[in-house]
Amino acid sequence: MTDAAPTQTGSATLAARHESRQGLIFGFLAYGLWGILPLYFLLLAPTGPFEVVAWRVLFSLVFCALIITVTRKWSLLFGVLRQRRVMLIMGLAGVLIFVNWQTYVYAAMTGHVVEAALGYFINPIVTVFLGVLVLRERLRRIQWIAVGISILAVVVLTIGYGTLPWLSLVLAFSFGFYGLIKKRVGSSVDAVTGLTLETAWLAPVAIIQLVVVAGFSGLTFGTVSPLHTMGLLAAGVVTAVPLLLFAAAARRLPLTVLGLIQFLAPVMQFLVGVFVLNEPMPPERWAGFALVWVALIMLTVDMIASGRAPRRASLEPA
């Protein structure tokens, strides 16, 4: 009996380490894929952002339906369909993620990748800010300072741009509110079921959007090349796979660790925008980003010191 207990403890420790290693791999893969999304969308040219998002919605729905079929989880989906409140919440979440996707793809395909990266750097700060406004949460002094620094960063960037960095703000706030909405359904809706319901709500909008695009400029699907067509078809896979990897990571890692990994995506987007796509970085833009990074460092240190972590729903990029 005395030998068995240490052996069981050792096995449990090894199993926990294995789970953590797997979680880190899944997490880095998820955020790494989200980080290079701008390059994927650029490869879909000459397709415009509105057509790309419409196909992304429809093919994501198809891909999710295939996953549910393979995993035999239709009963889980039908169970959620019977919950009217949850369905309405998922519909609202669908609207917010549609705004987020459309803004992100537009930014990626029109030379504003750095501005999109800024949106996801700001997102954790916006989540904290929305917690105060919507959930009436109390912030500690360092959190208030971080929020204040981020507001100063927006002012600096606005002066530099000559206008508000609206792409960044739309991305940050649409995803911030999306996180709050998803928080309402909690763990009752998994990643695949949630994406299925959101894209199902958006399918009619996507179809209307395709009809409008066809009337104005014509659709590119199936007219450019077989490789281009495969790229559009893969939009569903590109959308769903990082979400599945994220879900696998979230089950294996503490949210504190996952919260730190989340910065990989905007860092990669920033590097792609600056060093691959050669987007301009004048001094005032560097100053604005530096202020945002200072605010993020403060929030991260506070998060680790207090043992708190960002909400899971706010960790999933577009």
pLDDT class of 311 with cuts at 50, 70, 90 = very low
Asked, for residue 6, whether it belongs to a domain, the answer is no
Share of the chain above pLDDT 90, in %: 50
Asked, for residue 14, whether it belongs to a domain, the answer is no
Asked, for residue 22, whether it belongs to a domain, the answer is no
Asked, for residue 300, whether it belongs to a domain, the answer is yes
Question: Please, are residues 102 and 50 in contact by the beta-carbon 8 Å criterion?
Answer: yes
pLDDT class of 53 with cuts at 50, 70, 90 = very high
What is the extent of the structural domain holding 280? 30-315
| Lowest-pLDDT choice from 13-22, 92-101, 301-310 | 301-310
* Section 128-150 average pLDDT: 80
313 pLDDT more than 50 = no
pLDDT at 3: 57
65 pLDDT more than 50 = yes
Asked, for residue 12, whether it belongs to a domain, the answer is no
pLDDT at 164: 85
Give a three-class secondary structure readout of the chain: CCCHHHHHHHHHHHHHHHHHHHHHHHHHHHHHHHHCHHHHHHCCCCCCHHHHHHHHHHHHHHHHHHHHHHHCCHHHHHHHHCCHHHHHHHHHHHHHHHHHHHHHHHHHHCCCHHHHHHHHHHHHHHHHHHHHHCCCCCCCHHHHHHHHHHHHHHHHHHHHHCCCCHHHHHHHHHHHHHHHHHHHHHHHCCHHHHHHHHHHHHHHHHHHHHHHHHHHCCCCCCCCCHHHHHHHHCHHHHHHHHHHHHHHHHHHCCHHHHHHHCCHHHHHHHHHHHHHCCCCCCHHHHHHHHHHHHHHHHHHHHHHHHCCCCCHHHHCCC
pLDDT class of 8 with cuts at 50, 70, 90 = low
309 pLDDT more than 50 = no
Asked, for residue 5, whether it belongs to a domain, the answer is no
Asked, for residue 16, whether it belongs to a domain, the answer is no
pLDDT at 316: 66
pLDDT at 4: 56
Please give the tally of structural domains in the chain: 1
pLDDT, one tens digit per residue, over 245-298 is: 887 887 777 766 776 788 889 999 999 999 999 999 989 889 999 999 998 888
Average pLDDT in the chain = 86
pLDDT, one tens digit per residue, over 179-222 is: 888 777 766 788 889 899 999 999 999 999 999 999 999 999 99
Asked, for residue 47, whether it belongs to a domain, the answer is yes
